[in-house]
């Protein structure tokens, strides 16, 4: 076995967080040869949200190198050459199968070893597969999942092979909604199936979900709620032909896409670090119980000041910000200095068809109303009103409207309606939006393009 290769810093994982951590290391003056990114994927870090959106467009689809990090936040596109220029080693197509934190050693499936002084765990999540639960027929061809660019390529190939066919989407969350829209845009006959009483139940109220489901139905998407897939039929070639539901219905299918959640990839570190909430427990600087080992993005269970409790967040916004926080904390600690504790405002967004929504601060909701209107003969607007109470206020950060699109938001506070904020965003896309902000415990914006 060859001698171990040593780095001062190793980022384990090659997703969004890895790209933003590398950029922050470069800003902090990392020296050539000090930093390596070890990734199972074959490409440099990229903006993962593009896979369920632009990557699946029927025309002018997004492709690398167009969405390498850090373009999702309006930053520089970090091409592979950028890493070379900065002296950052990209170790791609390399799966780490063993991590020994005591000896600071990582071992790959090819039996290569790497040692480090400081480790950033950015392994992200894996999709939950129906084969994990022994669902009958779940190993059939064209039962697909979406997590990385390899998955996206398989989906694109299936859409081309089954052009204008029938697609069944299992799951009513982010992936279910976005991929249903993508498949419909590609002229598929789409049916969504999920067990909950409405879509996106962790974030949406019943009123907002009813609006969204009605919007999807008007686009021709069939929605079946309150049941699950219990089996699949396949033809002689092993290609899926039908989805069997628990309620007894059978749906014809040329493609099935499953989006029922993910699991943080922490198995390499079991028994070596403190864990909580299904992830690796960290402090407000993302350092784990093992000195010199940091965990960021999906895998980090960190103290969220807003709720005064340990939480995990699986979203690209947190992946970017936690990566930057950890690197700043690492470099500050080396200099005998400190940085402010991580103070994260939960932020989620999605785009489907010509609708977008953004959400800040998850709280219980007492009531909800959704109203459509067409002010002054302009484009349709949607207003969501949440009955929340008035426990404190917090100003919406500039630039948060738009979910990473170009341009920025300018708004003004009105004393009417408990603090109504009207705004517009200008960039490559011109938006009309209206939102009602009662307490900032929940701020929801939904608009049409």
Burial 107-145 (b: 16+ CB within 10 A, else e): bbeeebbbbbebbbbbbbbbbbebeeeebebbebebbbb
* Average pLDDT of the chain to the nearest whole number: 85
Q: Tell me: the pLDDT tens digits for 219-251? A: 999 999 999 999 999 999 999 999 999 999 999
pLDDT bracket for residue 332 (50, 70, 90) = very high
Q: Is 80 exceeded by the pLDDT of residue 379?
A: no
Task: Check residue 401 and give its pLDDT.
Answer: 39
In a domain, 198, yes or no: yes
Contact 352, 215 (CB under 8 A): no
Q: Tell me: the pLDDT tens digits for 8-49? A: 999 999 999 999 999 999 999 999 999 999 999 999 999 999
pLDDT bracket for residue 446 (50, 70, 90) = low
In a domain, 322, yes or no: yes
Of 356, 347, 342, the residue nearest 423 (C-alpha): 356
Burial of 94 (0-12, 13-18, 19+ CB in 10 A): buried
Task: Check residue 359 and give its pLDDT.
Answer: 78
pLDDT bracket for residue 354 (50, 70, 90) = confident
Contact 200, 211 (CB under 8 A): no
Task: Check residue 348 and give its pLDDT.
Answer: 82
Do 18 and 115 fall into the same domain? yes
Sequence-distant (6+) residues with CB within 8 A of 324 are: 20, 21, 24
Do 136 and 111 fall into the same domain? no
Q: What are 419's two structure tokens?
A: 């603090």
In a domain, 54, yes or no: yes
Task: Check residue 412 and give its pLDDT.
Answer: 29
Do 200 and 226 fall into the same domain? yes
Task: Check residue 203 and give its pLDDT.
Answer: 85
User: Which residue, of 306, 334, 362, is where some domain finishes?
Assistant: 334
In a domain, 342, yes or no: no
Q: Is 50 exceeded by the pLDDT of residue 261?
A: yes
**Domain range for 229:** 130-260
**How far is 429 from 391, CA to CA, in rounded Å?**
35
Of 20, 208, 258, 2, the residue nearest 111 (C-alpha): 2
Task: Check residue 186 and give its pLDDT.
Answer: 97
Between 218-227, 294-303, 419-428, the lowest mean confidence (pLDDT) is in: 419-428
In a domain, 345, yes or no: no
Q: Tell me: the pLDDT tens digits for 165-199? A: 999 999 999 899 999 999 999 999 999 999 999 99
Do 22 and 90 fall into the same domain? yes
Whole-prediction pTM value?
0.85
Do 208 and 267 fall into the same domain? no
Do 373 and 358 fall into the same domain? yes
User: Which residue, of 242, 260, 278, is where some domain finishes?
Assistant: 260
Stretch 54-83: mean pLDDT: 96
Task: Check residue 2 and give its pLDDT.
Answer: 78
Do 160 and 244 fall into the same domain? yes
Q: Tell me: the pLDDT tens digits for 298-310? A: 999 999 998 899 9
Q: Is 70 exceeded by the pLDDT of residue 427?
A: no
In a domain, 401, yes or no: yes
How many domains is the chain partitioned into structurally? Answer: 3
Contact 358, 348 (CB under 8 A): yes
Task: Check residue 361 and give its pLDDT.
Answer: 62
Do 61 and 148 fall into the same domain? no
Residues found in the chain: 449
Q: Is 90 exceeded by the pLDDT of residue 428?
A: no
Of 273, 298, 443, the residue nearest 365 (C-alpha): 443
Do 146 and 231 fall into the same domain? yes
In a domain, 348, yes or no: no
Between 418 and 2, the higher pLDDT residue? 2
CATH number at residue 95: 3.50.50.60
**How far is 445 from 382, CA to CA, in rounded Å?**
8
Do 139 and 252 fall into the same domain? yes
Do 162 and 254 fall into the same domain? yes
Burial of 262 (0-12, 13-18, 19+ CB in 10 A): middle
In a domain, 117, yes or no: yes
pLDDT bracket for residue 355 (50, 70, 90) = confident
User: Which residue, of 204, 231, 260, is where some domain finishes?
Assistant: 260
Between 139-153, 312-326, 342-356, the lowest mean confidence (pLDDT) is in: 342-356
**How far is 318 from 434, CA to CA, in rounded Å?**
25
Do 116 and 207 fall into the same domain? no
% of the chain surpassing 90 pLDDT? 73
Task: Check residue 301 and give its pLDDT.
Answer: 99
Between 414 and 180, the higher pLDDT residue? 180
Sign of the alpha-carbon torsion through 398, 400, 404, 407: negative
């Amino acid at each position: 076995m060859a001698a171990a290769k040593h780095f001062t810093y190793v980022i384990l994982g090659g997703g969004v967080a890895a790209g933003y951590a590398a950029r922050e290391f470069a800003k902090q003056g990392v020296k050539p040869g000090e930093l390596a990114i070890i990734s199972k994927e074959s490409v440099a870090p990229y903006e993962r949200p593009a896979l369920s959106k632009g990557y699946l467009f029927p025309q002018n689809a997004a492709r690398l190198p167009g969405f390498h990090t850090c373009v999702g936040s309006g930053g520089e596109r970090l091409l592979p050459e950028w890493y070379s220029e900065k002296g950052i080693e990209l170790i791609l197509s390399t799966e780490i199968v063993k991590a020994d934190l005591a000896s600071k050693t990582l071992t790959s499936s090819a039996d290569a070893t790497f040692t480090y002084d400081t480790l950033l765990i950015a392994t992200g999540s894996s999709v939950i597969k129906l084969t994990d639960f022994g669902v009958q027929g779940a190993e059939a061809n064209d039962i697909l999942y979406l997590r990385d660019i390899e998955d996206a390529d398989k989906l694109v190939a299936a859409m081309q092979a089954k052009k204008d066919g029938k697609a069944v989407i299992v799951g009513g969350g982010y992936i279910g909604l976005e991929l249903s829209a993508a498949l419909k845009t590609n002229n598929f006959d789409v049916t969504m199936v999920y067990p909950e009483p409405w879509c996106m139940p962790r974030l949406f109220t019943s009123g907002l979900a009813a609006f969204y489901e009605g919007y999807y139905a008007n686009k021709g998407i069939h929605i079946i709620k309150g049941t699950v897939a219990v089996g699949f039929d396949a033809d002689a070639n092993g290609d899926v032909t039908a989805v069997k539901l628990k309620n007894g219905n059978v749906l014809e299918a040329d493609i099935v896409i499953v989006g029922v959640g993910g699991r943080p990839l922490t198995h390499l570190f079991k028994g070596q670090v403190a864990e909580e909430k299904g992830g690796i427990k960290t402090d407000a600087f993302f350092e784990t119980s093992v000195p010199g080992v940091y965990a960021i993005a999906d895998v980090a269970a960190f103290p969220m000041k807003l709720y005064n409790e340990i939480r995990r967040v699986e979203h690209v916004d947190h992946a970017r910000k936690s990566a930057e926080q950890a690197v700043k904390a690492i470099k500050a600690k080396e200099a005998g200095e400190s940085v402010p504790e991580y103070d994260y405002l939960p932020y989620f967004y999605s785009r489907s068809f010509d609708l977008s929504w953004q959400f800040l601060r998850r709280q219980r909701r007492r009531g909800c109303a959704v109203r459509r209107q067409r002010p002054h003969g302009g484009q349709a607007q949607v207003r969501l009103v949440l009955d929340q109470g008035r426990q404190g206020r917090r100003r919406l950060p500039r630039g948060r409207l738009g979910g990473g699109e170009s341009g920025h938001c300018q708004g003004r506070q009105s004393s009417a309606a408990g603090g109504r904020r009207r705004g517009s965003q200008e960039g490559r896309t011109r938006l009309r939006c209206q939102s009602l902000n009662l307490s900032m415990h929940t701020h929801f914006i939904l608009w049409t393009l």
